Amino acid sequence: MKAFSPAEILKIREDFPILQRKVHGDRDLVYLDNAATSQKPLCVIEALNHYYRHSNANVHRGMHALAEEATADYEAARAKVAGFLGAPDPKGVVFTRGTTEAINLVAQSWGQKLQSGDEILISVMEHHSNIVPWQLLAQRTGAVVKAIPLTPTGELDLEAFDTLLGPKTRILALTQISNALGTVNPVKDLISKAKAHGTTVLIDGAQSAPHLPINISELGCDFFACSAHKMCGPTGIGALIASPELLESMPPWQGGGEMIDQVTLESSTWADLPYKFEAGTPNIGDAIGWASAIDYMQELGMERIEATLQALVNDAADRLDQEPGVTLTARPTERGGAVSFWLDGIHPHDVAQLVDQSGVAIRAGHVCCQPLMKHLGHPAINRASYHFYNTPEETGRLLEAIRIARKIFGIS
């Protein structure tokens, strides 16, 4: 599929008000922190505005016009998420605060069936949100967390995976794209191998859902977690997606209003799916905003978004690799929207602050991947992460800012 042309990208950028602003006085903003959160097009901002101006009400309970409108829009958003990601059934789309909460839901609800000696398989490259919930589950149940090591290129060691996957592996929890290295994992093949062992599979799609055409039914995973705010949608909304049959077998993980059917002082029964897992007043406005973001990305075309990102990030990796003093953290065969690096002689935090003075926003730190940092032998990295509205010229701005940083530190 053809990437967006330079003229098309310039036109797309007009849809994002924040990309027009300046920082530090007269510096044009270069936003390369999309793996942390993407920017929002005007249509999403207007969808939020419209909901709060015209339809603000609680859902599923009221019998007045506003409640009916809000409920219809909220449930339409659920159906839109299901369609966009190829979910088996909208009833299997549980709205959460994001990927982190979705993974915690699985660990705390589905995870109750684990026993001492059961194994949870993750990888060294996982985000903390796909490590810590499993550690907590292991502490509660006596299960054991094991991690797939990495190759020198920053990819999963597939031979080690085959060795680690076994009859005691109850769940494989794996990121589809590393937020730190940009590595795209061959999850479809790994899911197939795991299912052959009877292993349940959760895919962390926080970085893949914004960048790749996703069809959960074709992937074959049991759980898929993602966040709207990396998909040009609002913060504070995401989803756990699974088959209704699997979700039906799981107990609620939070109690309160909305998730019940009947309540007495002695006991309660649960609402139908997906409401059994959505206790309390949901994030209605942001669900509606997410639906607008999905419309926007679908109109652009996910195949073209993927092609554009591939061109941008591969160009960035090549140019950074040729820049004096820069060392790439990984060289994966297939890279998602991020490229991370070190700058010789300068701590990543200093690099990020210095390039920010040139108007370039990148990430610095352990990027919620401390076990990965230990593996890399560094406490922190710099990360430039792209979306379809970025340009090769912005990579040039990053390189210019890196050169200025080296001069400030007296590094030739």
Which residues share a beta bridge with 369? Answer: none
Cβ neighbours of residue 131 closer than 8 Å, sequence gap 6 or more? 122, 145, 371
Q: Using alpha carbons only, give the angle 301, 305, 310 rounded to the nearest 5 degrees.
A: 150
Which of 18-22, 159-163, 393-397, 408-412 shows the lowest per-residue confidence on average (mean pLDDT)? 408-412
Helix (H, G, I), strand (E, B) or coil at 98: coil
- State the burial class of residue 136 (Cβ atoms within 10 Å of its Cβ: 0-12, 13-18, 19+): middle
**CA–CA distance, 398 with 320 (Å, rounded to integer):** 9
Same fold yes or no, 6-37+302-408 and 46-298? no
CATH of the domain spanning 6-37+302-408, picked from 3.90.1150.10, 3.30.1360.200, 1.10.10.10, 3.40.50.1820: 3.90.1150.10
Q: What pLDDT score does 1 carry?
A: 74
Q: What pLDDT score does 315 carry?
A: 98
Q: Both tokens of residue 353?
A: 């602050």
Residue 61 banded pLDDT, cuts 50, 70, 90: confident
The question of whether 221 is a catalytic residue gets the answer: no
C-alpha of 91 from chain center = 21
The whole-number average pLDDT for the span 324-339 is 97
Greatest Cα-to-Cα distance within the chain, rounded to the nearest angstrom: 74
Q: Which of 66-70's residues contact partners 24+ apart within 8 Å by CB, and which partners?
A: 70/284
Number of H helices, E strands in the chain: 14, 17
The whole-number average pLDDT for the span 3-14 is 97
Residue 130 has pLDDT above 80, yes or no: yes
CB 389 within 8 A of CB 38: no
Residue-wise pLDDT for 101-119, tens only, equals 999 999 999 999 999 999 9
CB 67 within 8 A of CB 58: yes
Look-up: residue for tokens 């914004």?
Answer: 210
pLDDT > 70 fraction of the chain, expressed in percent and rounded: 100
Residue 144 has pLDDT above 80, yes or no: yes
**Average pLDDT score over the chain:** 97
Helix (H, G, I), strand (E, B) or coil at 22: strand
**CA–CA distance, 134 with 171 (Å, rounded to integer):** 10
Q: What is the pTM of this model?
A: 0.97
CA-nearest of 132, 141, 129, 136 to 101 is 129
Phi, psi of 82 (to 5 degrees): -60, -45
All structural domains of the chain with their residue ranges: 6-37+302-408, 46-298
Helix (H, G, I), strand (E, B) or coil at 118: coil
Instruction: Indicate if the alpha-carbon torsion angle 277, 207, 75, 191 is positive or negative.
Output: negative
Residue 235 banded pLDDT, cuts 50, 70, 90: very high
Strand-by-strand arrangement of the 200-204 sheet: 93-96, 238-242, 223-227, 200-204, 169-175, 119-123, 144-148
**CA–CA distance, 171 with 185 (Å, rounded to integer):** 17
Q: What pLDDT score does 360 carry?
A: 98
Phi, psi of 252 (to 5 degrees): -60, 155
Residue 412 banded pLDDT, cuts 50, 70, 90: confident
Residue 294 banded pLDDT, cuts 50, 70, 90: very high
CATH architecture of 46-298: 3-Layer(aba) Sandwich (3.40)
CA-nearest of 293, 324, 292 to 387 is 293
- Active-site position among 221, 226, 368, 369: 368
Residue 11 banded pLDDT, cuts 50, 70, 90: very high
DSSP state of 103: H
Q: What pLDDT score does 136 carry?
A: 98
DSSP characters over 120-161: EEEETT--GGGTHHHHHHHHHH--EEEEE-B-TTSSB-HHHH
The whole-number average pLDDT for the span 273-295 is 97
Cβ neighbours of residue 140 closer than 8 Å, sequence gap 6 or more? 111
The whole-number average pLDDT for the span 297-309 is 97
Q: What pLDDT score does 406 carry?
A: 96
DSSP characters over 275-314: GGG--SS--HHHHHHHHHHHHHHHHH-HHHHHHHHHHHHH
Residue-wise pLDDT for 197-233, tens only, equals 999 999 999 999 999 999 999 999 999 999 999 999 9
Q: What pLDDT score does 215 carry?
A: 98
CA-nearest of 295, 297, 268 to 388 is 297
Residue 282 has pLDDT above 90, yes or no: yes
Q: Both tokens of residue 344?
A: 């010789």
